[in-house]
A = this chain, B = another copy of it.
């Protein structure tokens, strides 16, 4: 069932492009002869890992904060994140002179905490429930909560990636996108399908955090008791109302990959393409290599490499 009233209109992504295009990188799309041979495809990579703060996240946050009234801007914004959303929110807020607070789990990687602080964000570490702690501080300080994915303006911002794909690789056949909470794939699938209905969009989840697959089966957003995956960028413990609606409406298939498959793909990308894809990004190539997606030989396939934020210690342990 398509729930069209929850769908972000294509025009909103176009408008977001106007808002953000001079503040973010237009990330390159490159081809890989080697990986193409390996997967029997014409393989392309969208290097969103070169984006400001090292992931796609600033696109949505820039669009969201652009639309925030000055009254709310003065008071400041807050969110929860162990990683890429934290860095993006801190960085974008600093660009717009908005105070930002990010509640992070006390076990977060020191590199991610320091990066968030380096961009100017106030980091609050907690061992308690993240969301409860965040909501408590939000009330106390009268801040605006910036949801990491289940928000129309965030989804419209991530949709700018789909617009760039259409412009730079107009005859693409298949687009592979990782799914955490689903904000990225919602934006990309919507923009692609509204303009090029024949393009297939495939979502990928790690087996230890498959909230979207389970939500699709149940027909409503599922909350996971626990998540367990090396792909921290895909470890959201629930799907959103909006993101589920977009995936239902626009995504052709969602496949599940193992951590081992992700690590193998990461290593291949590192050695052959000379870029550091974080596990969430490498999940796209992992799905292709796993044979779980049926793709005709020679099809033009694009993997969105959503981010490259992996610290040296984790990388060393995975190699």
Residues of A within 8 A of B (CB): 28, 30, 49-50, 54, 111, 267, 270-271, 274-276, 308, 311-313, 315-316, 319
Contact = CB atoms under 8 A, between A and B. Distances in A.
Contact of A275 (B28, B276, B311, B315): B276
List 5 tightest A-B contacts by C-beta distance, closest first.
Answer: A274-B308, A316-B319, A274-B276, A49-B274, A312-B319
Chain A binding surface SS class: helix
A70 to B, nearest CB: 27
Contacts of A319: 312-313, 315-316, 319
Contacts of A270: 276, 312, 315
Contacts of A312: 267, 270-271, 319
A49 B313 CA distance: 23
A311 to B, nearest CB: 7
Contacts of A267: 312
A148 to B, nearest CB: 21
Nearest to A34: B118
A111 B268 CA distance: 12
Nearest to A268: B312
Given A49-B274, A270-B315, A315-B319, 9 more contacts: A30-B50, A54-B274, A111-B271, A267-B312, A270-B312, A271-B311, A274-B275, A274-B308, A313-B319
